[in-house]
Amino acid sequence: MTGQIAARETRSASTKRNIRTVLSVSYYLGILPMFRIPALLPFVFATPFTILFILYVGGAGSLLASGLAGALTMSVAQQGLILGADLTGFKIDHKFQSMVVASPVSSFTYMFSIALSELTFASPPVAVLLLIISHSGVGSLAILEMIGVILLTWVTTSSIGFFLSTYVLNTRTAFLTVTFISTLISILPPVFYPIKILPSFLRPIAELAPTTQASILIQSLSGAHFASSQIELSWIALPLFTTFFLSLALFKARWRES
């Protein structure tokens, strides 16, 4: 059999293989570690819930709605970005990525698999926050829409994390970069607080963060009042951010080094 013939793979075989890749990688790198080392879970809860607590106590309950939206956005965004640090570790320290590149697994399948494993880690705080929000009287349709926003945020930040991981040269830099970006897009902009608090000249800058758009949508779905134009803008902007960063990850990430 010649190389060319043996190299062909049918579409259905390729789909089956990709599904197995996604399931196995997300299970072995996400679900299994979470059950084996449950001590990792408090780290996922720590930052978003600490900020939520401060806002709740400091704002005497008035900032609870935006705080919950912020905590929900940050839980997902932080885990999406951590993907960048984890992947850098897999690439530099473990050389696992070498094994993956030299295999039929595509960069997209690998990114999606690891992103799914990160989402697994983010799911406990997300579930707790969604439970709190639904108890505050938010309807199930709004909760479903929130899940949609969460998924868009997950894809966006995972794409940012993946893109970064293919350029960063050491694990330490990766962790510092991820922490910096996480602060920059999850704490500084109006993610935990209403955008109207910001001086008007800062609002366009704040809106450049995909997390701002995600938080606005979650806040509005929780019942906070926004101008309809603002909501429409966020529903357009967030998918656009997702498309942009996903394209960046797919076409500009350095999967094969030059």
Member of 64, 101, 128, 224 binding another protein (CB under 8 A): 101
Tell me the C-alpha distance between 246 and 228, whole Å.
27
Half-sphere exposure of 253 (CA within 13 A, CB side): 26
Q: Which residue of 43, 58, 94, 236 would you call a contact of another protein, by CB under 8 A?
A: 94
Among 10, 11, 12, 36, binds another protein (CB under 8 A): 36
Contact 238, 149 (CB under 8 A): yes
- Assess 17 for contact with another protein (CB under 8 A): yes
User: For another protein, which stretch binds (CB under 8 A), given 27-35, 141-149, 197-205, 228-236?
Assistant: 27-35
Own/partner long-range contacts of 43-48 (Cβ < 8 Å, ≥24 apart): 44/75, 44/78, 44/79, 44/121, 44/122, 44/124, 44/125, 45/124, 45/125, 45/128, 47/74, 47/78, 48/72, 48/74, 48/75, 48/78, 48/125, 48/129
Name the residue nearer to another protein (CB basis): 106 or 134: 106
CB-CB contact of 182 with 81 (8 Å): yes
Span near another protein by CB under 8 A; candidates 89-97, 217-225, 227-235, 245-253: 89-97
Find tokens 């579930």 and name the residue: 127
For another protein, the binding residue among 41, 57, 59, 103 (CB under 8 A) is 103
Instruction: Work out which of 16, 172, 196, 252 binds another protein, going by CB under 8 A.
Output: 16
Residues 62-81 that bind another protein (CB under 8 A): none
Stretch that binds another protein, among 51-59, 62-70, 86-94, 185-193 (CB under 8 A): 86-94
Contact 203, 213 (CB under 8 A): no
Near another protein by CB under 8 A: residue from 104, 131, 169, 227: 104
Which residue from 13, 131, 147, 202 is in contact with another protein, where contact means CB under 8 A?
Answer: 13
- Asked whether 142 and 222 are in contact (CB, 8 A), the reply is yes
- Burial string for 204-225 (b: 16+ CB within 10 Å, else e) reads eebbebbbbbbbbbbbbbbeee
Of these, 7, 39, 60, 141, which contacts another protein (CB under 8 A)? 7
Q: For another protein, which residue of 65, 82, 105, 191 counts as binding (CB under 8 A)?
A: 105
State yes or no: residue 172 binds another protein (CB under 8 A). Answer: no
Q: Does 100 bind another protein (CB under 8 A)?
A: yes
Q: Applying CB under 8 A, does 39 fall inside the site for another protein?
A: no
Instruction: DSSP for 187-214, please give it.
Output: TSSTTSS-GGGS-GGGHHHHTTSHHHHH
Binding site for another protein (CB under 8 A): 2-4, 6-9, 13, 16-17, 20-21, 23-25, 28-29, 32-33, 36-37, 90, 93-96, 98-105, 256-258
